A and B are shown apart, each in its own frame.
Chain A
Amino acid sequence: MIAEIGLAVLWMAAALAVLQLVAGVLALKPRGANLIDVVRPVAVMQGVLVLIAFACLVSLFLTTDLSVKLVAENSHSAKPFIFKLAGTWGNHEGSMLLWVTIMAVAGGIVALIEKRLREDTLIATLAGQAFVSLGFYAFLLLSSNPFERLPEPAPEGAGLNPLLQDVGLAFHPPTLYVGYVGLSIAFSFAIGALVTRDVGPAFARAMRPWVLGAWIFLTLGITAGSYWAYYTLGWGGWWFWDPVENASLMPWLAATALLHSASVLASRNALRAWTVMLGVIAFSMSMVGTFLVRSGILTSVHAFAVDPERGSFILALLAIYIGGALTLFGVRASTVTEGSRFSFVSREAALVFNNVMLCGILGIVLVGTLYPLLTEAMGVKVSVGPPYFNPVSAIFAIPMLLVLAVGPLLRWRQDRLNRITMPVAIAAVLAAAVLLGVEVLAPQIKVLPLLGLAVAVGVAYASFLPLRGRNLHRTPLPIWGMVIAHFGIAVALFGMASESAFSTERLAAMNPGDSQQVGPYTLTLKNIAPVAGPNWTALEATVAASYAGGEPAILHPQARTFSNPPGNRTESALKTRWNGQLYAVLGEEGEDGRWQMRFWWKPFVPLIWLGGLLVALGGLLALLGRVASDIRRLVATDKIAYRRQRQGR
């Protein structure tokens, strides 16, 4: 019964999306003005209905209703609760339903609370949002119905890919999805503003919280995904420039650029056409990413998500939405009047530079990701990896980070560089000191990690400079947000550079009782014993790890074997200290009965993810600040309206 209710509600929601689109388009014409009151309630109702449909699917997974095909194929009655829940979106159909749910709920929230935007722009935005949702409704209802029943209930479910049975990963895809879909709202705002030729500060202010929210989730999603890859894949790396990783990085880069240009538009009414274009690009990158992952057009470690037919469907949606939006942009952007002007030395100019550099990185990641396909079209097979991505992205990233240090100190519109010479010089001296110090202490260091360490220290110092001369109690939250996010970038960069420069690795065949040295650690293999979990069994090593001769800590790296479905996974063991991380992996038993053990000592590697979290925290503070001031203003305008009403009487 629940499955049928879910499907029925989903169809009703799709019908409401049609209504929302048609009423929205008609309401923009002079004769349809009476339809204008329909659009908002319909959008809210659509959000509620989809939420019910999603709740139905969650309940089917939690009760493991094996008469439903999707549950039988992706779940198992013996799975722990948390993975039953995560199973809801750990498959194609469920993840598309989650996508539509977030999209419709976000649309409903816009309809409910957005009061700043011109009414016609808002209606156009909601119509655009309905138009985008409709494509995904079609996808769900016509080709990937999550509620389909089996003719006979299955005796037992097929389980979930062992690689995916991990708490971190259970919440990694929905986090990215919230980010992707948040960008769809920005996209709809951009469409709405283009349609009504209303590209101005009000549009930027209405869009900004959504971009910020999406950007926070993308940041968290990428950070969590990177940490997941780091500790479950057992390769000791934290970023592989895999197509799927790139697919999540590209929307983040575009959203970062959009965030900054929306700030310029909101505060200074400049960069109008550019902001609108980034609004389109950011969501395009989300869809391009989804397409690249789902279509299997590029080979990747995420091959479990591949299906060419679904890829074609997403590609068709991509053509309609992105092609359509970019055509609209080509037609309309020339009629977007030019915004305010600014000087070369100004905060706007620094933000423009940051935008160009971010788009440069975006471009090279996109080209690098598609390059294997491009050369294959010419008959050559290549794979593109870190030797391309690392140096080429650094060409853009390092100038961008230098401007990041200076830009926030500049005034809007026009400034003089000599006003900020002193603080910037201190940051530069700090960076130069690190550069020289590291070069002297570790002369074998490569150029990029060396530059990374130096720039990280300089930027970390400079990121706090916008606070100087301010009363810290009165500093607005968005300023704190910016400071913390920029500091987070520096922290993450320091971790990356340190990991790349100073990691040490030891691969050894060990008998119980043997000892090995890696970095400052002495590691002794105590024993190897079998252990069992709810749906896996494992061989578990007990390793005593003593830091610089101190009291040993006990680590338990495992080699797990899953039963439903069968599969293997290494479970690395980590020991985190303030100055780095020890990483231990249990390999196979060798010919002579000794065990393959792999150890890494990675100085300051946790800073990579700590930095990512700080960036997200910065975004959260900015979002809270923006939303709080919006609420204060809403309350104030309501009061004024109320007084006027009373006085009128």
Chain B
Amino acid sequence: MTTDPRDLVKKKPGLALWLPLALFGAFFVLVIWGLVRPADREVASAFIGKPLPEFNLPPATEARPGLATATFRAGKPRLLNVFASWCVPCAVESPQLAALAAQGIEIDGVAIRDRKEDLDRFLATNGNPFKRIGKDDLSQVQLAIGSSGVPETFVVDGKGVIRYQHIGDIRPEDVPLILGKLAEAAQ
């Protein structure tokens, strides 16, 4: 006796034939939603939960010392801001950084492919909220911490572990989020 295994799979062939289309419809709805959803800037970075890589950057300006990983292991959460004088959104976010610094948050900077004169002018114009500024002319530290552009801001806890990555400039409405992440990191 021969039986067709398909007989067992397809009790109602009429409806089963529409199943692929139904699945495709579901896929379609999902990706349409994915395309039109509001741009979400809170990227779940692969580097969250990872320790900062070892680095030791020379100072980018005489006004501030250079930056090394050891700074981030001092026990208190800090912000690591990746910026450059040639970057317009970096200037736009400077009031927010200043506001954070005024609340006692310690912020360190990594200046990407920058020149000393340009950087000094940038800091003179936009204020200097940084405790330390490291010089990263080859974007090596930037790439190593998973930052693909400027500005980006990392919340690093007191043990040197990345807790949050903010891509793009910090808008005034983002400040509470950053403070919240810092508070989480302090626990």
User: Which of A284, A349, A370, A381 interacts with B24 by CB under 8 Å?
Assistant: A284
B73 nearest CB across to chain A (Å): 13
Q: Give the most central of A311, A318, A334, A588: most B CB within 10 Å.
A: A588
Q: Which of B26-43 contact A (CB under 8 A)?
A: 27-28, 30-35, 37, 40, 42-43
A94-109 interface code vs B (CB 8 A; 1 in, 0 out): 0000000000000000
The secondary structure that dominates the A interface is helix
Decide yes or no whether B102 CB sits under 8 A from chain A.
no
Of the stretches B2-10, B80-88, B124-132, the one at the interface is B2-10
User: Which of B3, B28, B30 interacts with A373 by CB under 8 Å?
Assistant: B30
Decide yes or no whether A329 CB sits under 8 A from chain B.
yes
Decide yes or no whether A388 CB sits under 8 A from chain B.
no
Q: Which residue of A lies closest to B28 (CB)?
A: A319
Decide yes or no whether A143 CB sits under 8 A from chain B.
no
Q: Which of B14-58 contact A (CB under 8 A)?
A: 14, 17-18, 20-21, 24-25, 27-28, 30-35, 37, 40, 42-44, 46, 54-56
Residues of chain B lying within 8 A (CB to CB) of residue A322: 24
Q: Complex Cα distance A325/B161, Å? A: 51
Q: Complex Cα distance A341/B37, Å? A: 49
**Residues of A within 8 A of B (CB-CB), count:** 52
Q: Complex Cα distance A567/B25, Å? A: 41
Residues of chain A lying within 8 A (CB to CB) of residue B4: 338, 341-342
Decide yes or no whether B13 CB sits under 8 A from chain A.
yes
User: Which of A330, A373, A414 interacts with B21 by CB under 8 Å?
Assistant: A330
Decide yes or no whether A343 CB sits under 8 A from chain B.
yes
Q: Complex Cα distance A341/B1, Å? A: 10
Of the stretches A176-184, A291-299, A601-609, A626-634, the one at the interface is A291-299
Decide yes or no whether B96 CB sits under 8 A from chain A.
no
A588 contacts B18, C-beta separation under 8 Å? no
Whether A383 touches B2, Cβ cut-off 8 Å, given contacts A273-B17, A315-B31, A588-B55, is no
B35 contacts A315, C-beta separation under 8 Å? yes
A561 contacts B5, C-beta separation under 8 Å? no
A370 contacts B56, C-beta separation under 8 Å? no
Of the stretches B114-122, B136-144, B150-158, B176-184, the one at the interface is B136-144
User: Which of B24, B37, B43, B148 interacts with A323 by CB under 8 Å?
Assistant: B24
Decide yes or no whether B68 CB sits under 8 A from chain A.
yes
Q: Complex Cα distance A331/B34, Å? A: 30
Residues of chain A lying within 8 A (CB to CB) of residue B56: 590-591
Decide yes or no whether A410 CB sits under 8 A from chain B.
no
A365-406 interface code vs B (CB 8 A; 1 in, 0 out): 000001001101100011100000000000000000000000
B184 nearest CB across to chain A (Å): 15
A413 contacts B31, C-beta separation under 8 Å? no
User: Which of A329, A334, A342, A373 interacts with B13 by CB under 8 Å?
Assistant: A334
Q: Which of A237-278 contact B (CB under 8 A)?
A: 271, 273-274, 277
Decide yes or no whether A327 CB sits under 8 A from chain B.
yes
B68 contacts A591, C-beta separation under 8 Å? yes
Whether A344 touches B5, Cβ cut-off 8 Å, given contacts A297-B31, A370-B30, is yes
Q: Complex Cα distance A319/B13, Å? A: 24
A553-585 interface code vs B (CB 8 A; 1 in, 0 out): 000000001000011100000000000000000
Decide yes or no whether A288 CB sits under 8 A from chain B.
yes
Whether A342 touches B2, Cβ cut-off 8 Å, given contacts A297-B35, A333-B17, A596-B54, is yes
B135 nearest CB across to chain A (Å): 14
Residues of chain A lying within 8 A (CB to CB) of residue B20: 277, 280-281, 326, 329-330
B21 contacts A323, C-beta separation under 8 Å? yes
A297 contacts B54, C-beta separation under 8 Å? no
Q: Complex Cα distance A274/B6, Å? A: 10
B17 contacts A329, C-beta separation under 8 Å? yes
A295 contacts B138, C-beta separation under 8 Å? no
A289 nearest CB across to chain B (Å): 12
Q: Which residue of A lies closest to B141 (CB)?
A: A588
B143 contacts A568, C-beta separation under 8 Å? yes
Q: Complex Cα distance A373/B140, Å? A: 31
Q: Complex Cα distance A200/B143, Å? A: 55
Q: Which residue of B lies closest to A373 (CB)?
A: B34
B18 contacts A330, C-beta separation under 8 Å? yes
Decide yes or no whether A527 CB sits under 8 A from chain B.
no
Q: Which residue of A lies closest to B19 (CB)?
A: A330
B46 contacts A341, C-beta separation under 8 Å? no
B31 contacts A341, C-beta separation under 8 Å? no
Whether A374 touches B30, Cβ cut-off 8 Å, given contacts A273-B17, A311-B35, A383-B44, is yes
A370 contacts B18, C-beta separation under 8 Å? no
Q: Complex Cα distance A531/B46, Å? A: 33
B21 contacts A297, C-beta separation under 8 Å? no
Decide yes or no whether A312 CB sits under 8 A from chain B.
yes
A414 contacts B54, C-beta separation under 8 Å? no
B58 nearest CB across to chain A (Å): 11
Q: Complex Cα distance A274/B138, Å? A: 55
B5 contacts A568, C-beta separation under 8 Å? no
Q: Which residue of B lies closest to A343 (CB)?
A: B2
A303 nearest CB across to chain B (Å): 8
Residues of chain A lying within 8 A (CB to CB) of residue B54: 588, 590-591, 596
Residues of chain A lying within 8 A (CB to CB) of residue B144: 588
Q: Which residue of A lies closest to B8 (CB)?
A: A344
- Give 29 pairs: A residue, B residue, CB < 8 Å, sorted on A: A271-B6, A280-B20, A291-B31, A297-B34, A315-B31, A318-B28, A323-B24, A329-B20, A330-B18, A330-B20, A330-B21, A343-B2, A343-B3, A352-B5, A370-B30, A373-B34, A376-B34, A376-B40, A377-B33, A381-B44, A413-B2, A561-B138, A566-B139, A567-B139, A588-B55, A588-B140, A590-B56, A591-B54, A591-B68
A-B pairs with lowest CB-CB distance, top 4 = A326-B21, A591-B56, A330-B18, A381-B44
Q: A326-B20, A341-B3 are in contact. List 9 more A-B contacts (CB 8 A).
A: A281-B20, A288-B27, A315-B35, A326-B24, A334-B13, A349-B5, A381-B44, A383-B44, A568-B140
